[in-house]
Amino acid sequence: MVNKHKNSLIMLCASLGLCACSTAKVTSGTIPEQGLTVSHLYQHSQQPIQPMKKFQRVSAKQTESAFKALANPEVPIHVFAHVANIGDEQIIKPAYTTRFFLYKQNQYALASELY
């Protein structure tokens, strides 16, 4: 009985080994054969840089009208007077009101978006 299991194990290992060694031939390499070569890139980098076109200056009012700020609601919080324990000391903290925005950053709509 041990001999049957041993033969089955040997056949299993042999078939796994043969399957692992048989791979499909790779038809296309990982490096593309067509396209720019290193010499083309070098020659292209040696050409003088063309002057940039001048950009039109846009005023802040034009930008604000094109990109509207989306609503970022403020959430007010009122902290009541309390005693804070710092180490062995007790410190009386007065009441205060603070606020924070609901979103971390202000968001702006694109010029083409309607809201």
Residue-wise pLDDT tens digits, 58-84: 666 666 667 777 888 889 999 999 999
Which residue ranges in the chain fall short of pLDDT 70?
Answer: 1-4, 16-33, 41, 45, 47-65, 114-115
Residue 108 located in a structural domain: yes
Total of domains in the chain: 1
Give residue 64's pLDDT: 65
Residue 3 located in a structural domain: no
Residue 54 located in a structural domain: no
- Determine the longest span between alpha carbons in the chain, in angstroms: 91
Residue 103 located in a structural domain: yes
Tokens of 114: 């309607």
- The whole domain housing 109 covers 66-115
- The one-letter code for the residue type at 82 is H
Residue 50 located in a structural domain: no
Q: What is the C-alpha separation between 16 and 9, in angstroms, rounded?
A: 11
Give residue 33's pLDDT: 66
Residue 89 located in a structural domain: yes
Residue 75 located in a structural domain: yes
Q: Say if residues 44 and 78 touch (Cβ distance below 8 Å).
A: no
Residue 79 located in a structural domain: yes
DSSP 8-state code for residue 86: E
What is the number of other CB atoms lying within 10 angstroms of the CB of residue 18?
9
